[in-house]
């Protein structure tokens, strides 16, 4: 089962972050970003918050569950979806607790395109030396 866009829109509306909260589709499921940091996953129409001590203090009693088979446990957010203030606070403290995303660094310069060599019969020569 995959997550519907309606679920993503509902979560984003409830959280009240405006453009600070974005989503990205990944294999039928979604990652949620606050200020460019991945704070949660939405899988099978359920919200899974990255576990942090700050998030647990904000939420109190938490339910741990993996968002997909083989994944580590996240905080499963259910009742908080209907409490916009608590949902916003949980996402906010989690985003603050997480490290800044690693910069991708400088882009490597593009490699120059090499001209293909022709053999004496006019055919292109392959890299391994065999005629093309």
Give me the pLDDT at residue 129, please: 55
pLDDT tens digit sequence for 72-108: 999 999 999 999 999 999 999 999 999 887 776 665 5
Question: The tokens 């039928």 sit on which residue?
Answer: 28
For residue 15, what pLDDT is reported? 95
Q: What mean pLDDT value characterizes the chain?
A: 85
- The 3-class SS string of the chain reads CCCCHHHHHHHHHHHCCHHHEEEEEECCEEEEEECCEEEEEEECCEEEECCCHHHHHHHCCCEEECCCCCCCCEEEECHHHHCHHHHHHHHHHHHHHCCCCCCCCCCCCCCCCCCCCECCCCCEECCCCCEC
Inter-residue contact 18 to 24 (CB < 8 Å): no
**Distance (Å, whole) CA 125 – CA 120:** 10
- pLDDT exceeds 70 at position 16: yes
Q: How far is CA 47 from CA 30, 87, 96, in A?
A: 10, 10, 18
Angle 26-28-32 from CA coordinates, rounded to 5°: 50
Per CATH, the homologous superfamily of domain 5-97 is YgaC/TfoX-N like chaperone (3.30.1460.30)
More confident: 103 or 14 = 14
Is the pLDDT reported for residue 124 higher than 80? no
């Amino acid at each position: 089962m995959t997550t519907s866009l309606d679920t993503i829109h509902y979560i984003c509306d409830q959280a009240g972050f405006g453009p600070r909260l974005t989503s990205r589709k990944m294999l039928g499921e979604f990652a949620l970003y606050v200020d460019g940091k991945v704070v949660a996953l939405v899988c099978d129409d359920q919200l899974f918050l990255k576990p942090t001590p700050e998030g647990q203090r904000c939420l109190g009693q938490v339910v741990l569950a993996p968002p997909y088979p083989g994944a580590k446990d996240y905080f499963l957010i259910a009742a908080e979806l209907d409490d916009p203030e608590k949902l916003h606070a949980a996402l906010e403290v989690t985003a603050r607790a997480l490290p800044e995303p690693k910069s991708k660094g400088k882009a490597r310069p593009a490699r120059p395109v090499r001209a293909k060599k022709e053999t004496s019969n006019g055919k292109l020569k392959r890299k391994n030396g065999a005629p093309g």
